[in-house]
Amino acid sequence: AQEGFDRKEAEKLEKKLRKAEFDFEDFLTQLRQIKKLGSLEQILGMLPGMGQLKKVKQLKPDERELVKVEAIINSMTKEERRNYKIINGSRRRRIARGSGTSVQDVNRLIKNFAQMKKMMERFSKKGARGLPSFFS
Protein backbone atom coordinates (compact mmCIF):
# COMPACT_ATOMS: atom_id res chain seq x y z
CA ALA A 1 0.00 0.00 0.00
CA GLN A 2 2.77 2.40 0.93
CA GLU A 3 4.35 2.07 -2.52
CA GLY A 4 1.32 3.77 -4.11
CA PHE A 5 2.29 7.03 -2.43
CA ASP A 6 5.05 9.16 -3.86
CA ARG A 7 7.36 9.87 -0.91
CA LYS A 8 8.41 13.33 -2.13
CA GLU A 9 4.77 14.31 -2.66
CA ALA A 10 3.95 13.08 0.84
CA GLU A 11 6.81 15.04 2.41
CA LYS A 12 5.77 18.18 0.51
CA LEU A 13 2.22 17.68 1.74
CA GLU A 14 3.39 17.21 5.32
CA LYS A 15 5.18 20.58 5.19
CA LYS A 16 2.03 22.24 3.85
CA LEU A 17 -0.04 20.59 6.58
CA ARG A 18 2.34 21.84 9.26
CA LYS A 19 2.06 25.39 7.89
CA ALA A 20 -1.73 25.05 7.37
CA GLU A 21 -1.31 25.86 3.66
CA PHE A 22 -3.35 22.88 2.44
CA ASP A 23 -5.68 23.73 -0.47
CA PHE A 24 -8.01 21.95 -2.90
CA GLU A 25 -5.04 21.31 -5.24
CA ASP A 26 -3.37 19.30 -2.46
CA PHE A 27 -6.65 17.63 -1.57
CA LEU A 28 -7.12 16.54 -5.20
CA THR A 29 -3.56 15.16 -5.30
CA GLN A 30 -4.24 13.16 -2.14
CA LEU A 31 -7.55 11.90 -3.51
CA ARG A 32 -5.80 10.62 -6.63
CA GLN A 33 -3.08 8.96 -4.55
CA ILE A 34 -5.74 7.18 -2.49
CA LYS A 35 -7.52 6.01 -5.63
CA LYS A 36 -4.24 4.47 -6.87
CA LEU A 37 -4.23 2.24 -3.80
CA GLY A 38 -7.51 0.59 -4.80
CA SER A 39 -11.07 0.67 -3.56
CA LEU A 40 -11.90 2.16 -0.17
CA GLU A 41 -12.95 -1.28 0.98
CA GLN A 42 -9.52 -2.67 0.04
CA ILE A 43 -7.75 0.22 1.77
CA LEU A 44 -9.76 -0.30 4.96
CA GLY A 45 -8.92 -4.00 4.76
CA MET A 46 -5.19 -3.15 4.71
CA LEU A 47 -5.37 -1.32 8.03
CA PRO A 48 -4.27 -3.49 10.95
CA GLY A 49 -7.27 -5.12 12.61
CA MET A 50 -9.80 -3.61 10.23
CA GLY A 51 -10.09 -6.68 8.00
CA GLN A 52 -11.73 -8.70 10.78
CA LEU A 53 -14.27 -6.08 11.77
CA LYS A 54 -17.74 -6.94 10.56
CA LYS A 55 -18.75 -3.28 10.72
CA VAL A 56 -16.18 -2.38 8.05
CA LYS A 57 -17.69 -4.96 5.74
CA GLN A 58 -21.14 -3.52 6.42
CA LEU A 59 -19.97 0.04 5.73
CA LYS A 60 -19.46 -0.56 2.00
CA PRO A 61 -17.71 2.77 1.35
CA ASP A 62 -19.30 4.55 -1.61
CA GLU A 63 -16.71 5.05 -4.36
CA ARG A 64 -19.16 7.35 -6.16
CA GLU A 65 -18.64 9.92 -3.42
CA LEU A 66 -14.94 10.14 -4.29
CA VAL A 67 -15.80 10.51 -7.98
CA LYS A 68 -18.23 13.31 -7.09
CA VAL A 69 -15.65 15.14 -4.96
CA GLU A 70 -13.05 14.87 -7.72
CA ALA A 71 -15.56 16.18 -10.29
CA ILE A 72 -16.39 19.17 -8.07
CA ILE A 73 -12.73 20.07 -7.55
CA ASN A 74 -11.97 19.59 -11.26
CA SER A 75 -14.78 22.06 -12.05
CA MET A 76 -13.07 24.77 -9.99
CA THR A 77 -10.61 27.21 -11.51
CA LYS A 78 -7.02 27.08 -10.24
CA GLU A 79 -7.68 30.29 -8.35
CA GLU A 80 -10.71 28.73 -6.63
CA ARG A 81 -8.75 25.59 -5.75
CA ARG A 82 -6.03 27.68 -4.15
CA ASN A 83 -8.42 30.00 -2.28
CA TYR A 84 -11.82 28.44 -1.57
CA LYS A 85 -13.01 31.61 0.19
CA ILE A 86 -13.56 33.36 -3.16
CA ILE A 87 -16.20 30.79 -4.16
CA ASN A 88 -19.43 32.79 -3.96
CA GLY A 89 -22.97 31.74 -4.93
CA SER A 90 -22.61 32.15 -8.69
CA ARG A 91 -19.29 30.29 -8.69
CA ARG A 92 -20.88 27.49 -6.66
CA ARG A 93 -23.69 27.19 -9.22
CA ARG A 94 -21.16 27.10 -12.07
CA ILE A 95 -19.07 24.45 -10.28
CA ALA A 96 -22.20 22.36 -9.61
CA ARG A 97 -23.27 22.56 -13.27
CA GLY A 98 -19.76 21.72 -14.46
CA SER A 99 -19.42 18.74 -12.15
CA GLY A 100 -22.91 17.35 -12.65
CA THR A 101 -23.67 17.72 -8.96
CA SER A 102 -25.93 19.93 -6.87
CA VAL A 103 -25.06 23.23 -5.22
CA GLN A 104 -25.67 21.43 -1.90
CA ASP A 105 -22.92 18.93 -2.79
CA VAL A 106 -20.53 21.80 -3.56
CA ASN A 107 -21.51 23.57 -0.32
CA ARG A 108 -20.99 20.37 1.69
CA LEU A 109 -17.52 19.82 0.22
CA ILE A 110 -16.47 23.43 0.88
CA LYS A 111 -17.86 23.31 4.43
CA ASN A 112 -16.06 20.03 5.20
CA PHE A 113 -12.84 21.33 3.67
CA ALA A 114 -13.06 24.55 5.72
CA GLN A 115 -13.54 22.52 8.92
CA MET A 116 -10.58 20.31 8.06
CA LYS A 117 -8.43 23.35 7.31
CA LYS A 118 -9.43 24.97 10.61
CA MET A 119 -8.43 21.80 12.45
CA MET A 120 -5.05 21.78 10.67
CA GLU A 121 -4.50 25.42 11.64
CA ARG A 122 -5.06 24.50 15.29
CA PHE A 123 -2.51 21.70 14.97
CA SER A 124 0.02 23.99 13.30
CA LYS A 125 -0.31 26.56 16.10
CA LYS A 126 0.59 23.87 18.63
CA GLY A 127 3.88 23.40 16.82
CA ALA A 128 5.63 20.15 16.05
CA ARG A 129 3.96 18.25 18.88
CA GLY A 130 0.49 19.05 17.52
CA LEU A 131 0.93 16.94 14.39
CA PRO A 132 3.08 13.82 14.49
CA SER A 133 5.79 13.46 11.88
CA PHE A 134 5.03 10.71 9.41
CA PHE A 135 8.65 10.31 8.32
CA SER A 136 10.69 10.35 11.51
pLDDT in tens, 37-60: 776 666 666 666 655 555 555 555
Domains located in the chain, CATH noted: 2-130 (1.10.260.30)
pTM of the entire predicted model:
0.71
- Percent of the chain scoring above 70 in pLDDT: 66
pLDDT of residue 90: 98
Ranges 2-16, 60-74, 114-128: which has the least confidence: 2-16
d(CA 45, CA 52): 8
